[in-house]
Amino acid sequence: MIKKQITSLAAIIALSVAGAAIAKDDLPDQTSDGLTRVKSKNVDAVYWQDGATLEQYNKVLIVDAAVAFKKNWERDYNRDVVGTSGRVRTEDMERIKEGLSKEFTVVFTQQLTEGGYEVVATPAEDVLILRPAIINLNVTAPDLQTSAMDRSYVSSAGDMTLYLELYDSATGAKIGEVLDAQRARDMGYMQFSNRVTNKAEADRIFRKWSNLLVKALDEAHKKDD
């Protein structure tokens, strides 16, 4: 099961790094492991195992999110930078990826807990495993912690795509996949950008995704009845 998870996750990240377009109209009707695409008004694509349900899951285990930048993001960003102090480096990208991965877990844990679902670290029969990846990450103005007093002004913080696999922890069976691209709000004017504003926009997107999961779990448990 672990091997299959890694293979599938590696494939979608490779797709991102290769720069292939992930347009929802171009996506297949079925995945290579037998999941069927179902209609969704809330995200770009949902694939589901026939007969699977979220009804039995009261707890959630969140695997650390993998993060991959958009193809050539480092090159394209540095191309427009004057001098060397403001250039993005490999260690900057690793810091951003690590921070975004941790923030994903923080936000999802908070929203699931507030929704009445326990976030755990151990598999069990009532545990749903989430294996997330943030791909095609595009940060318009990263906060690079340089000594220069430069300020960045942007209309939008950037964009990213969620690739999320859902597994039954008792059997190891994959029951679903979700793919959704989201862009930070476009304010319609240039505004000061830093790590705080970038985090706020990332949190807003993470809350949207996590709230959709809570809603799906609520519907499966018929909480709205």
pLDDT tens profile 97-115: 999 999 999 999 999 999 9
Q: Cβ(223)–Cβ(183) under 8 Å?
A: no
Q: Judge whether residue 53 has pLDDT over 70.
A: yes
| 3-class SS of residue 103 | helix
In this structure, is residue 29 part of a structural domain? yes
In this structure, is residue 206 part of a structural domain? yes
In this structure, is residue 58 part of a structural domain? yes
Q: What is the pLDDT of residues 133-187, one digit of tens each?
A: 999 998 887 776 655 545 554 345 688 999 999 999 999 999 999 999 998 865 5
Phi and psi at 86, nearest 5°, equal -100, 10
In this structure, is residue 50 part of a structural domain? yes
In this structure, is residue 183 part of a structural domain? yes
Dihedral over Cα of 13, 15, 20, 24: its sign: negative
In this structure, is residue 141 part of a structural domain? yes
Instruction: Tell me the residue range of the domain where 122 lies.
Output: 2-220
In this structure, is residue 225 part of a structural domain? no
Task: Give me the number of domains the chain comprises.
Answer: 1
In this structure, is residue 193 part of a structural domain? yes
- DSSP strand pairing (45-48 vs 174-183): antiparallel
